[in-house]
Amino acid sequence: MKLVTCYADWVIEHPKTIWAIILALSLLAAWPHFSAKGRPVHIPLQDLELARDSAGNDTFRLDRADSFLVIEAPDLFSPTAVAAIRHLISNIESLSFIKNVFWIEDIPPLNMFDLSPGWLPEENADPSEYEDAKKRILTHPLVYGQLVSPDATTLLLPVRYDWIGIQEDADCTEKLLAVSRATAAKYPSAELKINLTGRVPLYLAAQQAFHANHQKFQIIGYLLVFAIATILFRDIATIVIVGAAPAISIYWTTGALKWLSIQSNDLTTVVLPVLITMVGLTDGVHLVMALRKRWQANQNRIKALHDAIAHVGVACLLTSLTTAIGFASLLLARSTPIRDFGLACSVGVLVTFVAVLTIIPGLSITRLGTYLCHEKTAHQDYKLENLRGFLNTVLSNYRTVSIIGGLLTLLCIAISLTLRPDARTINALPANSPATVALEHCNTSLGGIAFIRVVGDFSATKKKADFNVIQLIDQIDGFVSGEPLLRHPLSIKNLLDSFGKRATATQMEFIKLLPPDLRKTFFDQASDQIQIYIRTQDLGTAAYTPVFRRLNRKLLDLEQATPGLNLELTGIPITSAQDVTLIVYDLVASLGTASLVILIVMICFYRSWRIGIVTLIPNLLPLALTGTLLVATGQNLAIVSVCALAVCIGIAVDDSIHFLTRFRQELESGSDVDAAIRATFFGVGGALVITTIILITGFATVLISPLPTHRMFSMMACATIGGALIGDLLFLPALLKWLIRKPSDILREVQSKL
């Protein structure tokens, strides 16, 4: 392109201006750090607090607890264990940041005279009284399966914080756990094991793990990339010149994001620096290797630099555009964090392109650049000469190889289409954190700590006097009992059953005997509304979406059979499943849009529809292979999975662009198709291998992260980038020979459109 050639002329002729621009951009990037506009916005932890029900007391709403203390013991109802738990709760409630702890002795009585039965015996009571208390307590609907596991070895204590008293995040977790465990240690014979989980501890565990690990993995990645660059280039000058561009790119991008007020999030903070480093290094490697090759061909350094920029700069521009398009496709998502991530990465890629074509030429024309073609490194051509037999086989069987590539791509796409949207809380947490351990235990012992609700409104029924609430709840309980993943439904019927089994028609006569706050939680007589609470485990959206659909269909059938009845399935697991499904499908649609746009861009850029067709298999195959890998490993399509594909689609097409750009240049120089393919394969193949190694190495460092989402992103990135190299060195040469029989097939199209 003439634009890139003109830029190359300008860089060579105005070195002082280049450095003035670099200094100006660096100062602009630094300015937001010293201004109010650039300061990060911190969201206070209390913003996590759910809105309370202003209509009444929510003491009995376990789904609104801030945290859950999870206490395990061989016998929770032994005299020692009861004494330890009483002492533990007393110490916890004395803390300034604790509002209340709800436990067995806070449960209201369920009897006709509103008399407390004395749920637990006094400290010096006979052991037989404790056994009697255990039997009595486990028949209470607010205890069995709610506060105590069915096997009576796990106690759940819902905790609510007094947010005004919280001084730091550690108060909500470490300090609370420390006080609890210190108290339990005074009663060793009780053998209490204490952990903490719930929405606040889970949120903090994810944040702490993220902040503790992301810098460490970036440093590891940079060190590995530095080591690989050292092995490849073996001289400090090349390492400094190639490495300076991504280093400065990260700094410029940070400033640009602050100037543009683009919010950062966990995904952006972890992925963006690694991405910029990888993209900057790969473009830098292509540019420096092109410079060294021309310099070794007896061109002077300035002329070699000019030609390298003019030829490689075109490919770098196109790769930056296609990568940015891949990220920009995330702007179509409905999730604000995903849109911010896509926009931030798009900005970062474009800034990196500017840095590579500015920093590397700027350093190359200095004294440091004189060492780029030192005698110790002049022999390094990386031309893949050992693969000459491999290329001969591919070109001799180009039809077979092309057909195999097409069939393999279609097969992998078909397998990938079986993936379902999924999201799990545990995947965002380190496996060894107390919150994760406690959550997994609650999944198995209590059926989870998340709740869905069936809300029934029968105010519009024509014969409210004849409407049987208990019979309705019985039917809904029957639906729930048929779903193994739904556990322990809790409703007004469970409370009324505590008065003794009676005829369905007469059970509602005892409703006035219930405490008002407790009654209103499950049955609001003023508005003719009931609520049924059902426990769900943290098994993921993919596992529960079919369950919710079946339950919704049954509720709809029940509505239709009862005119005026309105039933709604709601709760955080329901909305989360809906949100995740929408976001994932949005991302898949944006990914498809990005693929189409990239295809159009390449057709327009190369001015050849044949080139567009040729690139389909090499660029679709890596994504399809990665989707197949997810299916093979039993994974589903999480948000991070689709984001990884969006990240990789632009990177994967980069190798194809460098290959095709060199291929067209060989045709323009007078080579036939076969000779052009061979010259391209051995001319840029080495650079493709090097850049792939660098990319995989950088992303592979995240595989040792304790966070499953980070490991998933890394695995998919490595698989896609590795698949892209296979597509470009195996299938692309075969497709070029099959679909482009003579140079005029491309050059004539180009000339006709100029």
| Per-residue three-class SS string for 581-635 | HHHHHHHHHHHHHHHHHHHHHHHHHHCCHHHHHHCHHHHHHHHHHHHHHHHHCCC
As a whole number of angstroms, the distance between CA 47 and CA 572 comes to 16
Q: 344-353, 461-470, 497-506: lowest mean pLDDT where?
A: 497-506
Strands 450-457 and 98-101: unpaired
Comparing C-alpha atoms, which of 594, 593, 581 is closest to residue 636? 581
How many CA atoms, within 13 angstroms, populate the side-chain half-sphere of residue 154? 23
What average pLDDT does the segment 702-708 reach? 78
Which one-letter DSSP state was computed for residue 635?
-
Distances (CA, A) of 476 to 372, 456, 508, 510: 75, 10, 17, 21
Chain-centre distance for alpha carbon 132: 49
- The 10s digit of each residue's pLDDT in 568-624 is 999 889 988 888 887 787 777 777 777 777 778 777 777 777 787 888 888 888 888
Quote the pLDDT of residue 299: 67
End-to-end CA distance of the chain: 12
Q: Which residue has the tokens 């990665």?
A: 626
Q: Is residue 408 packed enough to be buried (19+ CB in 10 Å), middle (13-18) or exposed (0-12)?
A: middle
Contact 709, 271 (CB under 8 A): no
Count of H-run helices and E-run strands, the chain = 26, 9
Supply the pLDDT for residue 30: 79
Which residue, chain included where needed, has tokens 């951009």?
A: 25
Angle between helices 398-416 and 388-396 (to 10 degrees): 90
Q: Do domains 1-31+236-381 and 439-570 have the same CATH topology?
A: no
Task: Select the more confidently predicted residue: 283 or 97.
Answer: 97
Contact 75, 192 (CB under 8 A): no
Q: For 174, which DSSP code? A: I
Average pLDDT of span 434-441: 90
Q: How many CB atoms lie within 10 A of CB 69?
A: 26
Is the pLDDT at 49 greater than 60? The verdict is: no
Query: What is the mean pLDDT of the segment spanning 175-194?
Result: 92
Q: What is the pLDDT of residue 453?
A: 93
What integer pLDDT is reported at residue 552 of this predicted model? 94
Rounded distance, CA 481 to CA 272, Å?
47
Range of lowest pLDDT (144-148, 376-380, 659-663): 376-380
Mean pLDDT lowest among 12-16, 91-95, 373-377, 519-523: 373-377
Is domain 1-31+236-381 given the CATH code 1.20.1640.10 in the classification?
Answer: yes
CATH class of 384-418+577-754: mainly alpha
Stronger pLDDT, 715 or 697, i.e. the higher one: 715
- Residue with token string 């073996």: 234
For the chain, the structural domain boundaries read 1-31+236-381, 56-197, 384-418+577-754, 439-570
Long-range contacts of the stretch 505-513 (C-beta < 8 A, 24+): 505/468, 507/470, 508/469, 508/470, 510/112, 513/110, 513/111, 513/112, 513/114
Cα-based distances in Å from 26 to 127, 128, 691: 75, 77, 27
Q: What is the pLDDT of residues 69-108, one digit of tens each?
A: 999 999 888 889 999 999 999 999 999 999 989 888 888 7
Render pLDDT for 248-261 as a digit per residue (tens, 0 to 9). 888 888 888 888 88
585, 376 contact by CB (below 8 A): no
Q: How many CB atoms lie within 10 A of CB 707?
A: 23
Q: What is the pLDDT of residue 95?
A: 92
pLDDT at residue 194, as a whole number: 93
Q: Give the pLDDT score at 225.
A: 61
The H or E element spanning position 486 is: strand 486-490
User: What value does the mean pLDDT of the chain take?
Assistant: 81
Distance of CA 414 to the CA centre of its chain: 24
Rounded Cα gap, residues 595 and 648, in angstroms: 11
Query: CB of 308 within 8 A of CB of 294?
Result: yes
Q: Which residue has the tokens 């393919």?
A: 677
- Each residue's pLDDT tens digit, 207-242: 777 776 666 666 665 676 667 667 767 777 888 888
CA 115, 119, 122, 126: dihedral to nearest 10 degrees? Answer: 110
Q: Is 460 helix (H, G, I), strand (E, B) or coil?
A: coil
Mean pLDDT of 266-294: 77
The CATH code for residues 439-570 is 3.30.70
- Give the mean pLDDT of 496-520: 72
Of 473-482, 574-583, 640-649, which has the strongest mean pLDDT? 473-482
